[in-house]
Chains A and B, each alone.
Chain A
Amino acid sequence: MLSRSKAALATLVLALAGSATLRAQGVTGSITATAAVQSPITVTGAQNLNFQSVFPGVAKTVAYTDAANAGRFNVAGQASTPVTYSFTLPANLTSAGQNLPIASWTGYVNTIASSAAGGSAITPSASSAGATLSVAGTLFFYVGATVTPPNNLPAGSYTGTVTLTVSY
């Protein structure tokens, strides 16, 4: 083989080796995946529902408008966004295995911290309902109920838990 052809052949071998290396690498392109995550919801049990002193045989009601004793939940999240909510409600307040029935739940939902005006009366329940966060991303829920202590209910501090669940 002539010298020039030898050189050419060697060069060709090199070129093929080079192309084999490139083939293994491949050619890449990328895109960005983006998500604009909105504010998460927070639910705060802001004020407890307090029936104060209750007497056996005497039903007692706390109205949701009772500023001192009604329960209140504060909700924060993404401004002006609809949410769904539901309540988990106790059937009884309990103390040492004794039951104090609680029912006739009443409520109010408002974009501002008021149970008097600007919002809507609701009936707290396990059924899902809708509301919309304020332009500031707030929502306030007020809760009242009635307890009906039997005549023979032992004295004591009876408690139960009311839970509000809010989701987008």
Chain B
Amino acid sequence: MTTTAKTALAGLLLALIGAGASPAQGVNGSLTASAALQAPIAVTGAIPLNFQSVFPGVTKTVAYSDVTAGRFDVTGQASTLVNYTFTLPANLTNAGQNLPIGSWTGYVNTTQSTSGGTAITPSAAAGSATLSASGTLYFYVGATVTPANNLPAGSYTGTVTLTVSY
């Protein structure tokens, strides 16, 4: 439990003790405690990043504007600033073999398009963007794989994670 939460709990206990002592007074008043809870963020991995066929010794790039680029769909409170970070793999893997992946490219847009938005470089460092007037945000991701000459054939996979917070 965080210190903040402990303090809050202590406050609650104090309040309850106080409540226990007060029934003899017999006088009530009331107030309203309100919190305008904004729309929660949702992040959906919408389209996988697919390099399709890759040949050993031949570097292959999928641009963020390609149809096989990865896409994340984000929803949340309209017109609100959010922070985002990516968790990126260094390799795609298959049966203990590594296929290096790097040179990440990306694009963030309030509409589902790779024009009209902003080019970004996906990384673990926080970036920021603003949800559209309808509460949407789209992230596109591309990268480059560099298979070694002797890389065994197979389906190599990795996971790309986008984290978004208010």
Contacts and interface: CB of A to CB of B under 8 A. Distances in A.
Interface in A21-78: 21, 23-41, 78
Contacts of B141: 31
A8 B157 CA distance: 50
A31 B51 contact: no
A27 B57 contact: no
Contacts of B11: 9-10, 13-14
A122 to B, nearest CB: 22
B56 to A, nearest CB: 4
B56 A35 contact: no
B70 interface: yes
Nearest to A12: B33
A32 B92 CA distance: 10
Interface stretch (B14-22, B108-116, B127-135): B14-22
Contact of B8 (A14, A28, A78): A14
A5 interface: yes
Nearest to A78: B55
A85 B54 CA distance: 19
Q: Which of A15, A16, A28, A81 has most B Cβ within 10 Å?
A: A28
**Residue from B9, B56, B101, B147 with most neighbouring chain A CB atoms (10 Å):** B56
Given A10-B12, A12-B35, A38-B54, A33 B89 contact: yes
Interface size on A, as a range, is: 35 or more
Interface size class of B (residues with CB under 8 A): 35 or more
Contact of B60 (A30, A35, A39, A81): A35
A157 interface: no
Contacts of A25: 165
Interface centre among A10, A16, A25, A167 (most CB of B within 10 A): A10
A27 B92 contact: no
Nearest to B11: A10
A81 B141 CA distance: 29
Nearest to B20: A3
B41 interface: yes
A36 B52 contact: yes
Contacts of B44: 29
Q: Which of A13, A14, A35 neighbours the largest number of chain B CB atoms within 10 Å of its CB?
A: A35
Contact of B5 (A2, A17, A24, A38): A17
Contacts of A13: 7-8, 11-12
A3 B157 contact: no
For the complex of A and B, the 8 pairs showing the least CB-CB separation, nearest first, are A29-B43, A26-B165, A168-B55, A35-B51, A31-B45, A40-B56, A10-B15, A10-B12
9 contacts: A2-B29, A6-B14, A6-B19, A9-B33, A29-B45, A31-B71, A36-B51, A37-B99, A167-B58
Given A3-B19, A31-B141, A32-B159, 15 more contacts: A2-B28, A2-B30, A7-B16, A7-B19, A13-B12, A14-B8, A23-B166, A29-B72, A31-B48, A32-B49, A33-B51, A37-B54, A37-B151, A38-B54, A41-B149
